[in-house]
């Protein structure tokens, strides 16, 4: 079983739709959580960090449920430019100086259709 699991998709949605991505992680010692966006043949780019209290950045909302070890990303009013692969990322590093290593899911492909 992979440490971070995501539905690979693809998710094909019309412009303006709301789409939700889910992710689960298996290591309860995980410390911090992120969503990265990766365009085709480009590097991953940090979309947002994810906090237990939930956080929102414009059309994007991320939630973390530590008890269920579950992370979500909601995109409202989808734009064509949102088409990309969304990577769920967990960091098991701790603040005692242990390795800050990012563990990636395989990514969920989103295709927003006109």
Partner 1 sequence: ETGVTQSPTHLIKTRGQQVTLRCSSQSGHNTVSWYQQALGQGPQFIFQYYREEENGRGNFPPRFSGLQFPNYSSELNVNALELDDSALYLCASSPEAYNEQFFGPGTRLTVL
* From 9-17, 45-53, 58-66, 72-80, span contacting partner 1 (CB under 8 A): 45-53
Toward partner 1, which CB reaches closer, 52 or 94?
94
**8 Å CB contact between 78 and 86:** no
- Assess 29 for contact with partner 1 (CB under 8 A): no
- Assess 78 for contact with partner 1 (CB under 8 A): no
Q: Tell me how far apart the alpha carbons of residues 63 and 49 are, in angstroms, rounded to a whole number.
A: 10
- Assess 111 for contact with partner 1 (CB under 8 A): no
Q: Tell me how far apart the alpha carbons of residues 106 and 114 are, in angstroms, rounded to a whole number.
A: 26
Q: Would you tell me which residues interact with partner 1 (CB under 8 A)? A: 4, 34, 41-46, 49, 87, 91, 93-95, 97-107
């Amino acid at each position: 079983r992979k440490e971070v699991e995501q539905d690979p998709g693809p998710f094909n949605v019309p412009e303006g739709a709301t789409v939700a991505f889910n992710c689960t992680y298996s290591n309860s010692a995980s410390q911090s959580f992120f969503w990265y966006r990766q365009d085709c043949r480009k590097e991953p780019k940090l979309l947002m960090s994810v906090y237990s209290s939930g956080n929102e950045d414009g059309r994007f909302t991320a939630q973390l449920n530590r008890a269920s070890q579950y992370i979500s990303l909601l995109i409202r009013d989808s734009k064509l430019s949102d088409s990309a692969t969304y990577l769920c990322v967990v960091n098991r590093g701790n603040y005692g100086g242990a390795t800050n290593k990012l563990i990636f899911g395989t990514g969920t492909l989103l295709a927003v259709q006109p």
